[in-house]
């Protein structure tokens, strides 16, 4: 036939399974949408119908290669989503959308921002993420009402001047997203965007930050992760509104003392740097709830850390720590403490002060014993102390009745305290690769136990009866391989949930 335009009401046929418009030359919907099949065609028209009511037109992933002709007459639109198509440019006809406030053209093939973008003067949100932009047209600075601009995942290496007659034009901009581009320098113009609250420049190649970053006093979220920063300016301390600071995967060896001025900072991520020490001023971060320092080169921690009274998550794994400061026990709000892969020989005697602690990870250290106060953790759910040199476990462990996972594998244990049978919420008990000879006779009290790993020990027999192994009625995984066990208790045949059984 010679159909070029299908009626808009086709969009009401939402249950239609087959629509054949082959051998036509349609312009509405575009031929590339037709090629995607019936669902895409129906979706195209359905979106147009819905937009009449909502004033929001969402047409993602419809294979569009050009601006649909229907849209230029929809001057009432306030939001337009054309993401995930195959657009290579923005049609000048888009400027007819005089009411448009939000434009999303992410995940297309757009190579440049056209000058006529400046005529869309009511825009407040602009999203060009995941395109092939190599530069940002200087006329975006004329979008005087813009509040959010996303230019991430492009090939930008600089930003145009945002000034006119000495005044910043984007004076309402609150969010600027520039991650995954090709910036080697921090865009100087950004330091003039005094209203900026969120700045994301992660995954670039930035080497230094200007001291003028202190002018961004409204900034609450700053992400500079995965760059090439080796130092930070003292001026960073001027960004006093920051609540979240992401600096992971850089080359930082130290932090400036001014970092202590960030009184509102709640989340501080410094994972995968080269930090050898922390400034005493870090103890001044009175709002801090999460501090991530994994994979650095820290050998000691400043005593001032005991002043972080609101800290809930502390990650110190994969450093060079051989001790923790004694006053760390004052961190009574701590919920998660991870200090695996260090050189610790002892834990703080008063570790039981961590009344809110739910997770304790001390794997791969040099611990020979655990303090008896570990039994004073009323909220603990997970303890990992595998790959140490433990020879015994304190009987106080039996008071950790909230425990669901206890990982003790790869130690030097030759026995377990009977009190371990009091852990009635325990679901996973990892004991493989020790020197255990006998299991507690009342292990059957662990009714919730699902995983029990005993491989590579010195066990010659298992506790029999339903007070013994037969009482672990939820057991689904049992490792016995590598033990000199001569008799398997018949009760094991009654463990109906057993899925994995590794026999000697």
pLDDT tens digit sequence for 224-237: 999 999 999 999 99
Alpha carbon distance 29, 472 (integer Å): 64
CA atoms within 13 A of residue 179's CA, in its CB half-sphere: 14
Banded model confidence at residue 36, pLDDT cuts 50, 70, 90: confident
Compare 53 and 372 and report the one with higher pLDDT: 372
Residue 182 lies in a domain: no
Quick check: 4 pLDDT over 70?
no
Query: What is the predicted pLDDT for the residue at 95?
Result: 93
Q: Are 21 and 45 in contact (CB under 8 A)?
A: no
Q: What is the DSSP letter of 222?
A: E
* Beta-strand pair 56-58/79-81: parallel
Q: Are 304 and 282 in contact (CB under 8 A)?
A: yes
Alpha carbon distance 390, 411 (integer Å): 5
Mean pLDDT, rounded, for 441-446? 96
Model confidence, pTM: 0.90
CA 148 to chain centre: 22
Q: Are 412 and 391 in contact (CB under 8 A)?
A: yes
- SS3 labels along 26-68: CCECCHHHHCCCHHHHHHHHHHHHHHHHHCEEECCCCCCCCCC
Phi then psi dihedrals of residue 171, to 5 deg: -80, -5
Dihedral angle sign, alpha carbons of residues 282, 283, 289, 294: positive
Residue 415 lies in a domain: yes
Query: What is the predicted pLDDT for the residue at 398?
Result: 97
Tokens 């057993």 correspond to what residue? 498
- SS3 labels along 226-259: CCCCCCCCHHHHHCCCCCEEECCCCCCCCCCHHH
Mean pLDDT, rounded, for 20-48? 67
Residue 403 lies in a domain: yes
Quick check: 101 pLDDT over 70?
yes
* Beta-strand pair 163-164/167-168: antiparallel
Residue 203 lies in a domain: no
Q: What is the DSSP letter of 140?
A: G
Quick check: 21 pLDDT over 70?
no
Both structure tokens of 45 = 């028209």
Compare 73 and 484 and report the one with higher pLDDT: 484
3-class DSSP assignment, residue 482: coil
Least confident of 114-128, 323-337, 365-379, 422-436: 323-337
Decide: residue 280, CB within 10 A, 0-12 exposed, 13-18 middle, 19+ buried. middle
∠ CA 211-215-217, nearest 5°, is: 125
Percent of the chain predicted with pLDDT > 70: 92
Both structure tokens of 206 = 């930035």
Phi then psi dihedrals of residue 180, to 5 deg: 55, 55
Mean pLDDT, rounded, for 374-390? 97
Query: What is the predicted pLDDT for the residue at 466?
Result: 86
Compare 369 and 11 and report the one with higher pLDDT: 369
Query: What is the predicted pLDDT for the residue at 24?
Result: 45
pLDDT tens digit sequence for 351-380: 999 999 999 999 999 999 999 999 999 999
DSSP string, 409-461: -SS------GGGGG-TT--EEE--SS------TTGGG-TT--EEE--SS----
Both structure tokens of 243 = 């609540």
Residue 455 lies in a domain: yes
Banded model confidence at residue 161, pLDDT cuts 50, 70, 90: confident
Query: Which among 151, 157, 144 has a CA at the least distance from the CA of 126?
Result: 151
What lies within 8 Å, CB to CB, of 451 at 6+ separation is 427, 428, 429, 430, 475, 476, 477
Both structure tokens of 277 = 């020490």
Phi then psi dihedrals of residue 226, to 5 deg: 55, 55
Q: In Å, how far are 246, 287, 308, 310, 335 from 265, measured between CA atoms?
A: 11, 6, 11, 11, 18
When the pLDDT of each residue in the chain is averaged and rounded to a whole number, the result is: 91
Provide the domain count of the chain: 1
Q: How many helices (H) and strands (E) does the chain have?
A: 2, 22
Banded model confidence at residue 121, pLDDT cuts 50, 70, 90: very high
* Beta-strand pair 477-479/451-453: parallel
Query: What is the predicted pLDDT for the residue at 52?
Result: 85
* Beta-strand pair 163-164/198-200: unpaired
Give the domain CATH number at 393.
3.80.10.10
Residue 479 lies in a domain: yes
Query: What is the predicted pLDDT for the residue at 22?
Result: 55
Q: Give the domain range for residue 502.
A: 381-504
Banded model confidence at residue 9, pLDDT cuts 50, 70, 90: low
Query: Which among 409, 414, 416, 398 has a CA at the least distance from the CA of 451?
Result: 409
Both structure tokens of 149 = 């601009």
What lies within 8 Å, CB to CB, of 339 at 6+ separation is 316, 317, 321, 324, 361, 362, 365
Residue 402 lies in a domain: yes
Least confident of 10-19, 321-330, 349-358: 10-19
Quick check: 146 pLDDT over 60?
yes
């Amino acid at each position: 036939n010679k159909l070029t335009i299908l009626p808009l009401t086709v969009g009401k046929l939402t249950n239609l399974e087959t629509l054949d418009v082959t051998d036509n030359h349609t312009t509405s919907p575009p031929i590339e949408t037709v090629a995607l099949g019936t669902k895409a065609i129906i979706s195209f028209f359905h979106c147009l119908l819905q937009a009449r009511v909502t004033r929001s037109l969402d047409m993602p992933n419809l294979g569009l290669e050009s601006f649909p002709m229907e849209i230029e007459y929809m001057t009432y639109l306030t939001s337009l989503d054309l993401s995930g198509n195959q657009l290579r440019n923005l049609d000048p006809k888009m400027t007819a959308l005089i009411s448009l406030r939000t434009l999303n053209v992410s995940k297309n093939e757009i190579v440049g921002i056209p000058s006529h973008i400046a005529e869309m003067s009511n825009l407040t949100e602009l999203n060009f993420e995941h395109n092939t932009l190599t530069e940002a047209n200087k006329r975006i600075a004329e979008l005087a009402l813009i509040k959010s601009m996303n230019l991430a995942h492009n090939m930008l290496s600089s930003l145009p001047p945002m000034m006119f007659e000495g005044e910043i034009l984007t004076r309402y901009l609150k969010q600027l997203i520039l991650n995954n581009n090709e910036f080697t320098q921090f865009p100087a113009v950004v330091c003039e965007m005094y209203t900026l609250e969120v700045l994301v420049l992660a995954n670039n190649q930035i080497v230094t930050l200007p001291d003028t970053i202190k002018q961004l006093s409204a900034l609450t979220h700053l992400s500079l992760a995965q760059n090439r920063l080796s130092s930070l300016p003292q001026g960073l301390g001027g960004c006093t509104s920051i609540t979240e600071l992401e600096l992971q995967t850089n080359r930082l060896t130290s932090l400036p003392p001014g970092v202590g001025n960030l009184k509102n900072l709640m989340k501080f991520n410094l994972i995968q740097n080269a930090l050898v020490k922390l400034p005493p001023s870090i103890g001044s971060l009175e709002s801090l709830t999460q501090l991530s320092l994994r994979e650095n080169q820290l050998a000691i921690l400043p005593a001032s850390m005991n002043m972080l009274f609101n800290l809930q998550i502390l990650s110190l794994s994969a450093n060079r720590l051989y001790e923790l400061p004694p006053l760390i026990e004052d961190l009574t709000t701590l919920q998660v403490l991870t200090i695996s892969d260090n050189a610790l020989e002892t834990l703080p005697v008063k570790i039981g002060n961590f009344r809110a602690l739910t997770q304790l990870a001390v794997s791969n250290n040099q611990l020979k014993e655990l303090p008896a106060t570990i039994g004073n953790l009323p909220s603990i759910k997970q303890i990992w102390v595998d790959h140490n040199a433990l020879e015994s476990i304190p009987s106080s462990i039996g008071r950790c009745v909230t425990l669901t996972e206890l990982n003790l594998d790869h130690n030097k244990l030759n026995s377990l305290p009977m009190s371990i049978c009091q852990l009635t919420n325990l679901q996973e008990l990892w004991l493989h690769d020790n020197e255990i000879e006998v299991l507690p006779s009342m292990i059957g009290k662990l009714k919730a136990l699902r995983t029990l790993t005993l491989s590579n020990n010195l066990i010659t027999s298992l506790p029999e009866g339903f007070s013994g192994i037969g009482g672990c009625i939820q057991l689904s995984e049992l490792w016995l391989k590598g033990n000199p066990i001569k008799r398997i208790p018949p009760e094991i045949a009654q463990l109906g949930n057993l899925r994995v059984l590794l026999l000697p």
